[in-house]
Structure 1
């Protein structure tokens, strides 16, 4: 997702230098968008006022930020690091403190909207961190977002992203059950959705995924492997703050079933494929 996001920044007239752990991807980005590519995070951030990051998980983020070749070692005093990765609030707070010690600023800014949202520049960005740092970086994040908000102090952005993933998990399972029920009842699923989507049942998932679900196509968005990583983060945080997430825990196990079906890289709407498989047993 960072590939198109960096492209939007370049198209907006900013001087962009990119880094990817697979350097060929960085070279491909330069060939498409101009700009520059670097072979280490430290090299990429040299002389930058703002650094945006989007990787995979806690360990990936630490590896990009810390160490002699990490971004924090190369950022100049007062520069701002905005992290778009979905990670734990714990690693966010850890890196916030490390950034402060290095004389730089850290804003957690996880994103929602999927690959299409990144490509079209209409992501939702939920942020945590110090208000002055957020105010400075917000205009740059607005280049690839439809909404960008500071929710609170460091970690608040990641906690809000957890709320997002909790809501999505139950929505997708509910939609899958609705379409499954329609099929078992002998109804035209598309006709059903055309009607119910205009009422209280309507959702983004319903509007954008019901047809591909019915067509048995599941390569349109956020992968099951990543969703299970995110739901694990949600449940770990719930263990710490006392929240009860029984439906989230159940849907996480349904996604585990999808992985066992070989669907780790299918998009999250593949919960419907799981239901069809159960029906065939």
Structure 2
């Protein structure tokens, strides 16, 4: 079924995700803070550009958002010109931002007050997954809202799962980031060890990636790590933001995250090296820099 959809936020994730919706036959209106990006999207995919989130949401049956952080999300959904200011009763808001569970619950209440609906739906798979339409989406919300959203989300996902009530999607994404942080640190240490041992690191990876040590990070990042190439992928700044949220949530629920806290500190060191926009696999570069001291 073709729907009227608004998509708010055309970054490295949102731009291709909105494109998949247009290719699926939906009528898509986009909003982005940088107008030129929205104009470029319309030139490539058709649809329309709106001057504000409220204008984008005015005729939408579903509103999708994918922005930077909690404050950005509040602005595009609940701000003076936010989507809720223009949304009609019954409109379903689906948020793909990696944000806090608290802001998801807050915006759920704001949506209910306007007669709208809200579902948090953070994603995993990175820019590559967004472009290829194979993201994993972790949802929090009512079963009826999930049933409405799932067929649309399948336009750019290979896995869409309802994890529980509003906020459960964000909590699940935190689990994802906790696991990723540990895996990337382990990969960086293993490669650094191989270098120090005088091994052919590529040959080592070729062997261990066929066994229990293999991971997405190993398969997809080891070559760029070996080439000292980090101007791509998921930025350290973004991971720091995510891990800070994980640690804040853990402080509330009593979970112990000693490794996550340690890796978060390592990413602070990468930022100090000027690597805030480097890919998270730059943990290897941190170790290499430490060896030079």
TM-score w.r.t. length of structure 2: 0.95
The offset of 1:219, in angstroms, is 2.0
Partner of 2:122: 110
> Matches of 2:196 and 2:277 in 1, distance apart?
27
Partner of 1:238: 250
Match of 1:173 among 172, 185, 191: 185
Does structure 1 residue 270 correspond to structure 2 residue 287?
Answer: no
Secondary structure of 2:118's aligned partner: strand
Does structure 1 residue 60 correspond to structure 2 residue 56?
Answer: no
Match of 1:148 among 143, 152, 160: 160
> Matches of 1:107 and 1:255 in 2, distance apart?
31
> Matches of 1:155 and 1:75 in 2, distance apart?
22
The offset of 1:220, in angstroms, is 2.6
> Matches of 2:247 and 2:49 in 1, distance apart?
37
Partner of 2:19: 7
Task: Give 1:206-225 correspondences, 5 Å limit.
Answer: 206-225=218-237
> Matches of 2:203 and 2:158 in 1, distance apart?
30
Partner of 1:124: 136
Size of the alignment, in residue pairs?
281
Secondary structure of 1:119's aligned partner: helix
The offset of 1:67, in angstroms, is 2.9
Task: Give 1:185-264 correspondences, 5 Å limit.
Answer: 185-264=197-276
Secondary structure of 2:276's aligned partner: coil
Q: What value does the CA root-mean-square deviation take over the aligned residues?
A: 0.6
Match of 1:69 among 70, 81, 96: 81
Does structure 1 residue 30 correspond to structure 2 residue 79?
Answer: no
> Matches of 1:78 and 1:257 in 2, distance apart?
46
Partner of 1:133: 145
> Matches of 2:157 and 2:287 in 1, distance apart?
34
> Matches of 1:119 and 1:20 in 2, distance apart?
18
The offset of 1:24, in angstroms, is 1.1
The offset of 1:153, in angstroms, is 0.4
> Matches of 1:219 and 1:146 in 2, distance apart?
27
Secondary structure of 2:90's aligned partner: coil
Secondary structure of 1:249's aligned partner: helix
Q: Which runs of 5+ in 2 are unaligned?
A: 1-12
Secondary structure of 1:16's aligned partner: strand
Secondary structure of 1:149's aligned partner: strand
The offset of 1:47, in angstroms, is 1.2
> Matches of 2:214 and 2:264 in 1, distance apart?
23
Does structure 1 residue 88 correspond to structure 2 residue 100?
Answer: yes
Q: Deviations over 1:98-119 (max 9, x none)?
A: 1111111100000111111111
Q: Which runs of 5+ in 1 are unaligned?
A: none
> Matches of 2:189 and 2:177 in 1, distance apart?
18
